[in-house]
Amino acid sequence: MCKTLKQMLAVRQWERKQHSQEGSCLILKGESNANKWEERGITNINCSGSMWVEPGEIFQMGMNVSIYCQEALKNCRPRNLYFYKNGFKEKFHITRINRTTAHIWYKGFSEPHAYVHCTAECPGHFQETLICGKDISSGYPPDAPSNVTCVIYEYSGNMTCYWNTGKPTYIDTKYTVHLKRYKYQDMVVRGQLLTSDWSLETEEERQYLASSCVNISTDSLQGGRKYLVWVQAVNALGMENSHNYKSIWTI
């Protein structure tokens, strides 16, 4: 199932979601940039300057991206500033802006994940000196979750809800299952019962983080009640709610 390391961490996160669709429900809590750097073997970066990314460190796949590096090294007037992506030195589209700052431009960036850093060539130094580094990701906003389905299998002790996540986003995307309880309400006018119907209890709503399915213990649900279920998808590029609201009965 797992792709090679060349596919980057963002793809591996997406694969976990795809794997969850094949039968196991996973709870995603996301990964920090620090954790990603640790997986790359770089636990700490002591920057001697700064690096910034336009339009940002997470952006929509296919956009043009500019990365700036500004050195603040002591006792160094760098001859050259260099950029590296995934450990390989870049050779094209680099502009030296001034003595301390350089810029690299990527047209239609399409890698789901990359780690970049810049270095300086200081006179009298045998090796290049690290200035700073960044972890960058590209992907897509989530699609609206579709085909939301909730079932209670006999003797399972759980209500299992699952849905179609849509196209891959390639970046960390969180799904939240919203569960709102109905209450049975009588409409009485002048002492006479006119009708009875189910209405939503606005104060009774629960939320469950998930990947592409979730198991909810039936012990946390009231038997013989009606619930409304919908799913919200969120990542750094957007948010969507499922269009179909599922009504389910508990036993």
CATH topology of domain 31-139: Immunoglobulin-like (2.60.40)
- The DSSP bridge pattern shows strands 58-60 and 129-139 to be parallel
Q: Where are the domains of the chain?
A: 31-139, 146-249
Type of residue found at 78: P
Q: 9 or 60: which carries more pLDDT confidence?
A: 60
CA torsion through residues 214, 220, 222, 228, sign: negative
pTM of the model: 0.72
Q: Which CATH superfamily is domain 146-249 in?
A: Immunoglobulins (2.60.40.10)
pLDDT of 213: 87
DSSP 8-state code for residue 28: -
Q: How many helices (H) and strands (E) does the chain have?
A: 2, 17
Q: Do domains 31-139 and 146-249 have the same CATH topology?
A: yes
Over residues 68-104, the pLDDT tens digits come to 999 999 999 999 999 999 999 999 999 999 999 999 9
End-to-end CA gap in the chain: 37
